[in-house]
Amino acid sequence: MSFDSIYIVYLIILLIITIVGFTRYKSLNKGFRVLTILILCTLISESIKKIYGKVYHNNMPVAHIWGVAELALYSATFYYLLNNSKIKKAIVVAVALMTALEIWNVLFFENLLQFPSLILNISQIVYVLYSLLLFRQMLLVPAEQSLFKQSLFWFNLNMLFYGTTMFLNFALTSYFIQNKLDMSALYYFSIVVNFIFYILIGISILIDNKKADIMNISNGK
């Protein structure tokens, strides 16, 4: 399968999730509404990246901007999913810090034409932290509903899986480049992880229900 065909499949998956998200928009809770907007933005950003890459042969400027925007949107999702007010404040501070870090990174380390590895690597760590905090909250306030029917569980599991796996992927990529090894295995690994990630996000958006979440919270508390 060529790279372009895989990319089209990837965009189609994003499009389907966006349609599902906006069809169910009113019945989603706030966190998942932000997630739906994030998926739409991902679709737009990935499309622009592709076009930008074809025209200018380097789409890294888009990757730099999207790196920060993606972190801000995932942070907003967790902001609504987490209840602790201190953690919410920490999320806002983290986004501000990451934005400052990215500007600093562009100015002094990885310019706009280079791959934004710093912001992406740190983002993965931040996602893992968010995910662990949300797992902690779920344990403190367990819902009555079966865990496997909870959108929160699938989304959070997905974020943990994606954050840790992509971090591993970056580390391996770095090692492979250093040793000039064949990258195709890593390339396919990255594709599979991305596909799993977005499909699971689609499932969590599909099963999320604002009313059920409200009931679970009131029962749990």
Q: Which residues bind another protein (CB under 8 A)?
A: 135, 138-139, 142-144, 147, 157, 160-161, 164-165, 168, 172, 175, 179-183, 219-220
Minimum distance of another protein from residue 221's CB (angstroms): 10
Minimum distance of another protein from residue 186's CB (angstroms): 11
Q: Which two tokens stand for residue 186?
A: 């890593």
What contacts 8, CB < 8 A, 6 or more positions away?
none
Specify the amino acid at residue 181: L
Looking at the Cβ atoms of 105 and 169, the one nearer to another protein is 169
Minimum distance of another protein from residue 168's CB (angstroms): 6
Place of tokens 């090894």: 181
Evaluate whether 119 touches 64 at the Cβ level (below 8 Å).
Answer: yes
Place of tokens 């966190």: 31
Looking at the Cβ atoms of 47 and 194, the one nearer to another protein is 194
Burial 14-27 (b: 16+ CB within 10 A, else e): beebbebbbebeee
Looking at the Cβ atoms of 47 and 137, the one nearer to another protein is 137
Distance CA 184, CA 18 (A): 30
Evaluate whether 143 touches 219 at the Cβ level (below 8 Å).
Answer: yes
Minimum distance of another protein from residue 73's CB (angstroms): 24
Looking at the Cβ atoms of 47 and 164, the one nearer to another protein is 164
Minimum distance of another protein from residue 163's CB (angstroms): 10
Evaluate whether 81 touches 152 at the Cβ level (below 8 Å).
Answer: yes
Looking at the Cβ atoms of 164 and 190, the one nearer to another protein is 164
Minimum distance of another protein from residue 164's CB (angstroms): 6
Q: Which two tokens stand for residue 23?
A: 């069809």
Looking at the Cβ atoms of 142 and 192, the one nearer to another protein is 142
Residue 155 CB: number of other CB atoms within 10 A?
25
